[in-house]
């Protein structure tokens, strides 16, 4: 049973298009995150959600709009894709907002913008 | 703001060699410290963690000790195997909680040769 799943695994698209990435966790966790990993493997937090509510938006362009229909899902919609959006996007979840909690990561979605 | 600095690779070792990957951090308060591992094509997995000063995290032969006086959390293993080849990330979670997500170092690519 996959704890944190993401779809699609690969996404190739043209500049200017709109795309979505879906994330689901079956761990019963309250808190979910989106991270971006660039070509040099550097990981940076984008958003954090707790009980479907946005907690943190780390200076991400408003072309990125996360949506959490319920606690188990956190989807990421990206408008007007740009070349610089090419990266691997990871969804993660943790039990709650305690900083000492382990975060469980999905397998990642590799986005390539042409 | 918070930051994590770790030695950048690639680090290439022979099987059964001793491993040290250095990690230092800058944070206010008392962060929780983590080592995550990323195998090729996969998401990140927690390797070990420590939540207060002088705590030692350990797993699969890897160890790291939370040293507040030197703001360090160096990863060590006595005898590495080919299967340990991966990218290793040192990370911290702010003492204020998990809302800000994890702050990661840039990752260390470890290559173990038979």
For B9, the token pair is: 């690779």
Minimal Cβ distance to A99: which of B32, B46, B109:
B32
CB B88 within 8 A of CB B35: yes
CA B57 to chain centre: 10
CB A72 within 8 A of CB A50: no
* Residue contacts between A and B (CB atoms, under 8 Å): 78
Contacting B residues, span 39-78, partner chain A, CB-CB under 8 Å: 41-46, 49, 51
The Cα–Cα gap between A113 and B36 comes to 28
Contact B93 A100 (CB under 8 A): yes
Query: Is pLDDT above 80 for B100?
Result: yes
Mean pLDDT over B10-31 rounds to 94
Tell which of A41, A53, A92, A97 to mutate to test the B interface (max B CBs under 10 Å).
A41
For residue A83, the surrounding DSSP H or E stretch is: none
pLDDT tens for chain A, 114 residues: list them: 679 999 999 999 999 999 999 999 999 999 999 999 999 889 999 999 998 888 877 788 999 999 999 999 999 999 999 999 999 999 999 998 888 889 999 999 999 999
Query: Is pLDDT above 80 for B96?
Result: no
Upper half-sphere CA count for residue A37 (Cβ side, 13 Å): 25
Interchain CB contact of B104 with A (< 8 Å): yes
When pLDDT is cut at 50, 70 and 90, the band that residue B28 belongs to is confident
Minimal Cβ distance to A56: which of B44, B100, B106:
B100
CA A77 to chain centre: 9
CA distances from A2 to A19, A20, A104, B92 (A): 24, 20, 11, 25
For A95, the token pair is: 């039990």
């Amino acid at each position: 049973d996959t704890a944190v799943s993401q779809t699609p695994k690969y996404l190739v698209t043209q500049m200017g298009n709109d795309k979505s990435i879906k994330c689901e966790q079956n761990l019963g966790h309250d808190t979910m995150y989106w991270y971006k990993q660039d070509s040099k493997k550097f990981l940076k937090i984008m958003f954090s959600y707790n009980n479907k509510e946005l907690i943190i938006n780390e200076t991400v362009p408003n072309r990125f709009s996360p949506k959490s229909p319920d606690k188990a899902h956190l989807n990421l919609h990206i408008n007007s894709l740009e070349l610089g959006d090419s990266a691997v996007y990871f969804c993660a979840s943790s039990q709650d907002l305690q900083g000492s909690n382990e975060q469980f990561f999905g397998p990642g979605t590799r986005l390539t913008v042409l | 703001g918070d930051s994590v600095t770790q030695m950048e690779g690639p680090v290439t070792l022979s099987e059964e060699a001793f491993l040290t990957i250095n990690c230092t951090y800058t944070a206010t308060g008392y962060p929780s410290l983590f080592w995550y591992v990323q195998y090729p094509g996969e998401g990140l997995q927690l390797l070990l963690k420590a939540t207060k000063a002088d705590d030692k995290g350990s797993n699969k032969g890897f160890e790291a000790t939370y040293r507040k006086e030197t703001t360090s959390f160096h990863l060590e293993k006595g005898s590495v195997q080919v299967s340990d080849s991966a990218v290793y990330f040192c990370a911290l979670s702010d003492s204020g909680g998990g809302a800000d997500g994890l702050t990661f170092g840039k990752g260390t690519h470890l290559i173990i040769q038979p």
